[in-house]
């Protein structure tokens, strides 16, 4: 499926924010961005709305759209909550997941594996999103699913950023396989523990994220 132009622009803007091209607090002008990307203002607006959902920009009525990177403490707190929510999903899914959904998880993992071999971080992230969305749905708890999707969107740029860390895609792939194995065995405690570690920001992932937040902190 061809990706929407707005999604592509949103990802490019993420990169420009993370590399310091756009400073924290800087106003993003729709007209200038439309000229930069050679598009109308409509996909620019859609891209900015997408970034607003993830919290990388703030839309202020009658003033415009401004870059807003979260501070280190806020970011780590969000990842802590995300890890716990996904752990609950995995524990519930271990006794509720369907055979069809397990097959879908295996398929998502196969595509993730292909992305690892191709060193294609964008493809890996798209299939990774599919993997986690399946897990949320298989928790069998609609409210929990919606909360996970909401926070997942909020953390989307930072989860994608982690994949730039050397060896992270292959490590993530191994964690995915361990999650599916635990779900197939009906071991909710094991599935919960593995995905909690998978999502939590610690060690090299922590330092990598904080290094990219330095422009915002300064």
What is the pLDDT at residue 1?
Answer: 40
Q: What are the Cα distances from residue 60, in Å, to 9, 48, 63?
A: 21, 12, 5
Tens of pLDDT, residue by residue over 39-54, are 999 999 999 998 988 7
Provide the Cα torsion 111, 210, 179, 86; round to 10°: -110
What is the pLDDT at residue 216?
Answer: 45
What is the pLDDT at residue 192?
Answer: 97
What is the pTM for the complete model shown?
0.75
What is the pLDDT at residue 167?
Answer: 85
Tell me the torsion sign for CA atoms 79, 53, 104, 141: positive
In sequence order, which residues have a C-beta less than 8 Å from that of residue 165 and are 6 or more positions away?
204, 205, 208
Task: Collect the ranges in the chain with pLDDT lower than 70.
Answer: 1-3, 202-204, 206-208, 212-218
Q: Which residue has the tokens 């928790």?
A: 139
């Amino acid at each position: 499926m061809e990706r929407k132009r707005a999604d592509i622009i949103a990802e490019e803007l993420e990169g420009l924010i993370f590399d310091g091209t756009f400073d924290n607090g800087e106003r993003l002008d729709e007209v200038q961005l439309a000229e930069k990307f050679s598009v109308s203002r409509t996909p620019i607006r859609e891209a900015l709305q997408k970034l607003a959902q993830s919290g990388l920009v703030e839309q202020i009525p009658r003033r415009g759209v401004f870059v807003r990177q979260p501070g280190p403490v806020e970011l780590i707190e969000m990842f802590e909550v995300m890890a716990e929510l996904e752990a609950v999903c995995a524990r519930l899914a271990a006794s509720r997941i369907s055979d069809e959904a397990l097959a879908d998880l295996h398929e998502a993992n196969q595509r993730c594996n292909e992305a690892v071999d191709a060193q294609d971080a964008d493809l890996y992230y798209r299939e990774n999103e599919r993997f986690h969305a399946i897990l949320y749905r298989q928790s069998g708890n609609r409210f929990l699913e919606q909360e996970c999707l909401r926070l997942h969107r909020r953390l989307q740029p930072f989860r994608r950023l982690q994949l730039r860390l050397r060896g992270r895609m292959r490590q993530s792939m191994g964690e995915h396989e361990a999650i599916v194995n635990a779900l197939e065995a009906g071991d909710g405690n094991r599935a919960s523990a593995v995905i909690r570690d998978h999502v939590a920001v610690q060690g090299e992932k922590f330092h990598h994220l904080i290094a990219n937040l330095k422009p915002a902190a300064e």
